Amino acid sequence: MELIMQNSFATCGQACIAMIANKEIEEVIKDMKTDGPTSIGQLIEILDFYGIKHAERNKRISKKNPVPYRYSILTVHTKEGYTHWTLLHDDKYYDPEFGLIEGEYTYGKITSFLEIYK
């Protein structure tokens, strides 16, 4: 997995998809038709467009789903108050805003995850 940094404040979702699909972020932005904030529905739609298998829906972290699957797009609520997408792969966080993070994720609270099957 190669870390791809977001190219503006609002392209964390596009950067996560670029990492998963092994594409340039600009290509993902073009294919998604947005360089702005993204929803989980938009992320699922572009994963389908690229033929990348994934869970049917985003799962909230709970007692039933206590930890994210080892390859997932994570929903993060940052300490600064905005929602952010980051990627978990092989116990490392590929965060398009903060960089590669090994160990505990400290930039916000991970609240849900979308499993990627690849």
- At residue 86, the pLDDT reads 97
Domain ranges of the chain: 12-117
pTM of the full predicted structure? 0.95
pLDDT of residue 118: 75
Q: Which residues contact 110 (CB under 8 A, 6 or more apart)?
A: 61, 68, 74, 75, 76
Cα 5 to Cα 24: distance, rounded to the nearest angstrom: 10
Contact 85, 16 (CB under 8 A): yes
Per-residue pLDDT in tens (0 to 9) along the chain, 118 residues: 999 999 999 999 999 999 999 999 999 999 999 999 999 999 999 999 999 999 999 999 988 877 777 899 999 999 999 999 999 999 999 999 999 999 999 999 999 999 999 7
What is d(CA 99, CA 96) in angstroms, rounded to the nearest whole number? 6
DSSP codes of every residue in the chain: ------SSTT-HHHHHHHHHHT--HHHHHHHHT-SS---HHHHHHHHHHTT-EE-SS-EE-SSSS-S--SEEEEEEEETTS-EEEEEEETTEEEETTTEEEES---SEEEEEEEEEE-
